[in-house]
Structure 1
């Protein structure tokens, strides 16, 4: 997936919000979501990262978090548990009119994309299989009797790809503990897949990898929020670019 990067913009000065600038640039960012899995079972936390195939046109060989665009079915998948209040409220800030329920759909997109790219199904078997599931990827959750659990997710950051890029995304970064993995389907990661390698690495090891700029930035946010136990009062950053300058707001 395309995550926000730090390329300078060449568009003329504009004092409007980043969403308005995106529309004027003629390429509106698409809603997308990313999921960062944390293993906190040992003293030094580890995070799951995947290396993209070297033959891909976008970010070849880079280490990233699993993620991608939201799809229509993501809004209709049954779930167990609601998003934590802090995440729910922050996801509803600075969204276009008619964006009710967008946060829930984005959280589910992060879970679905993680399964598609890694074979990991996040959720619970405590309530049995979903009664229904949208066509496509979500049927795998029903067949595995795994119900996605949004309560396990924490909203960490939001970032918009700067103007001037051939692909632009409005990406929400979520985090979840490794214990939220209900099942792993083998064989999804291979030399011919989008992600050719998965690795559980420490924060220090992650920073030594070949990362997109925004991934490196979000690592700092993630580490700080995880140390604070994802407290309800935590700061959730929002990154975008205005008039060629990087901006950071809080949600």
Structure 2
């Protein structure tokens, strides 16, 4: 920004100084991501990661967990079970006037985005298909007779994209076990899709991939949760930036 343009060399006494023009800071959008953990018969758990298309504006070519922002339909999808009281409290903490059922909408956004990006439908068939499903991607859950099971989900961390980025998200990282994959659609991951490749890798292997920095950090938080059996007393960190410095608080 050029603050010298159009300023007279000797402004009149009555003239008021121009206010510095500042670029508006993008407001973070509520979003959620899902870490699917495969612990069956393995001494070293594996996680599902996807490589983003190189042509995307946000994190092109990076390996990430599937996820995205809340859509209106996420507020109306029937569910089985509920998030733990600990998760609900953490999801509402450090949020100004949290909307009704914020935690539920975030958890459902993580499940829906995972289906849209990977083809995996996570939930339970124990209660039959949902009766009333919003239009769009949730129809796949009805067709497969699957209800999202929020009780199976654990909150791992929260992170806000630093200021100055063109796209910013207030992201909640959930985890769920691979045993809750109830169905899978084919043809979702292609060379032209948002995620062009899916890999199951150990946490050590994941850290060798081309990751966003926050993803590497959250992998450490995931290790803590796995080793502690996702117990309610385990810390749920919140990452954000203040005055150019990274912050870590516990929710």
Instruction: Report the TM-score, using the length of structure 2 for normalisation.
Output: 0.89
The 3-state SS of whatever aligns with 1:175 is strand
Match of 1:50 in 2: 50
Match of 2:36 in 1: 37
Maintained 8 Å contact 2:92/2:102: yes
Aligned-partner Cα distance in 2 for 1:233–1:76: 30
Match of 2:169 in 1: 169
Maintained 8 Å contact 2:225/2:234: yes
Match of 1:7 in 2: none
Deviation at 1:26, TM superposition (A): 3.8
Post-superposition CA distance 1:12-42 (Å, at most 9, x none) = xxxxxxxxxxxx9542100000000000011
Pick the structure with greater CA Rg.
2
RMSD over equivalenced CA pairs, Å = 1.1
Maintained 8 Å contact 1:92/1:100: no
Q: Does 1:226 align with 2:236?
A: no
Deviation at 1:187, TM superposition (A): 1.0
The 3-state SS of whatever aligns with 1:126 is coil
The 3-state SS of whatever aligns with 1:223 is helix
Match of 2:5 in 1: none
The 3-state SS of whatever aligns with 1:32 is strand
Deviation at 1:98, TM superposition (A): 4.4
Query: Aligned residue pairs: how many?
Result: 228
Q: Does 1:192 align with 2:195?
A: no
Aligned-partner Cα distance in 2 for 1:135–1:87: 28
Match of 2:125 in 1: 125
Match of 2:62 in 1: 62
Aligned-partner Cα distance in 1 for 2:93–2:228: 22
Unaligned runs of at least 5 residues, structure 1: 1-23
Post-superposition CA distance 1:171-211 (Å, at most 9, x none) = 00000000011001111011111111101000110000000
The 3-state SS of whatever aligns with 2:131 is coil
Match of 2:236 in 1: 236
1:1-251 paired onto structure 2 within 5 Å: 25-41=24-40, 42-251=42-251
Aligned-partner Cα distance in 2 for 1:57–1:99: 29
Deviation at 1:84, TM superposition (A): 1.8
Aligned-partner Cα distance in 1 for 2:25–2:51: 31
Runs of at least 4 residues of structure 1 off by over 3 A?
none
Unaligned runs of at least 5 residues, structure 2: 1-22
Aligned-partner Cα distance in 1 for 2:209–2:25: 34
Maintained 8 Å contact 1:133/1:139: yes
Higher RCO (CA-CA < 8 Å; seq separation 6+): 1
Aligned-partner Cα distance in 2 for 1:245–1:52: 27
Maintained 8 Å contact 2:25/2:164: no
Post-superposition CA distance 1:89-146 (Å, at most 9, x none) = 2111111214221011000000000000000000001100001011111111111111
Aligned-partner Cα distance in 2 for 1:96–1:109: 20
Aligned-partner Cα distance in 1 for 2:162–2:57: 18
